[in-house]
């Protein structure tokens, strides 16, 4: 088995669980590729061995890598997209962070998770993504997102106006602090905290969720991901902030953004005991009786 490992160089990843991961991979004689900054950090802090291959970009990986292991929280998981890109490498998220919708393998389940990979006791879940199709170089080569694109106001306390069009037809002018365009995967992230609905993976939808809208009658809208969305922004500061998952750009107000469904999907490893309903029930504490 060939496994690539990505993590952030921080204190959360100096633990017995990180040692367990590398020991377990060594036990099954896995070929390990590790992100170089993470490798240097772990070598200094934990003294891991020298026999691993390193990678610094997607060019250093290939389709022969069986899995990408993300060690951290959901933010770390999203960062792996810049390395996996359209290679189709399945990602398994090991949660050393907090909530963990995407990184949903608990630290104490690492050994069982690696055994499941080695014994092929897993399935692959395909997640749709959105892409900025215009301007196509706004976010460089990584112009796609698993969770969402968000438009924010900046440099002013005043709201911005986001004129929104669907397939060229005018939808609405959102007077708000910002606007979120989320995928089903992103429906459990920022969109959820702004009142957006939960959407099951595979639903082939986008959700448009305003951030603190001035008009209280404006509500999130679910639409098919076959639609093309255009955004035109008016701002007193003549610019606005656009984020694509964890990446951000300051954009001139004259720039219009066009979004569509990405032409490739992300593969996520789903172990036998994992499903969407279990995840949201456990992470959102559904059914937990706090009255006793």
Residues recognised as catalytic: 74
Residue-wise DSSP of 189-224:
THHHHTTPPP--TTS-EEEEEEES-SSTT---EEEE
Q: Which residues contact 272 (CB under 8 A, 6 or more apart)?
A: 116, 121, 122, 123
The rounded distance, in Å, linking the Cα atoms of 148 and 134 is 16
Instruction: Take residue 23 and report the two structure tokens written for it.
Output: 């020991």
Buried b (16+ CB within 10 A) or exposed e, 122-132: beebebbbbbb
Residue-wise DSSP of 176-189:
ESEEEEE-TGGGGT
């Amino acid at each position: 088995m060939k496994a690539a490992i990505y993590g952030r160089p921080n204190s959360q990843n100096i633990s017995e669980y990180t040692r367990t991961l590398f020991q377990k991979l060594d036990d099954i004689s896995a070929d390990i590729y590790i992100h170089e900054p993470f490798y240097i950090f772990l070598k200094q802090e934990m003294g891991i061995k020298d026999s691993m291959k390193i990678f610094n970009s997607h060019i250093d990986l290939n389709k022969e890598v069986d899995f990408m292991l993300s060690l951290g929280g959901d933010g770390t998981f999203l960062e792996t997209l810049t390395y996996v890109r359209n290679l189709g490498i399945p990602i398994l998220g090991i949660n050393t962070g907090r909530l963990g919708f995407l990184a949903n393998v608990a630290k104490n389940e690492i050994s069982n998770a690696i055994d499941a990979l080695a014994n092929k006791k897993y399935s692959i879940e395909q997640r749709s993504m959105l892409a900025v199709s215009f301007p196509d170089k706004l976010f460089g080569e990584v112009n796609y997102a698993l969770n969402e694109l968000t438009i924010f106001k900046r440099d002013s306390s005043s709201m911005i106006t986001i004129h929104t069009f669907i397939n060229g037809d005018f939808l609405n002018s959102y007077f708000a602090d910002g606007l979120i365009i989320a995928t089903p995967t992103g429906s459990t992230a920022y969109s959820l905290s702004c009142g957006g609905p939960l959407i099951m993976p595979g639903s082939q939808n986008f959700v448009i969720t305003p951030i603190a809208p001035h008009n209280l009658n404006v509500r999130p809208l679910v639409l098919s991901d076959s639609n093309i969305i255009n955004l035109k922004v008016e701002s007193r500061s003549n610019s606005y902030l656009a984020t694509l998952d964890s990446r951000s750009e300051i954009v001139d107000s004259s720039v219009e953004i066009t979004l569509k469904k990405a032409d490739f999907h992300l593969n996520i490893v789903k172990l036998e005991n994992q499903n969407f309903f279990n995840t949201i029930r456990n992470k959102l504490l559904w059914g937990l009786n706090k009255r006793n």
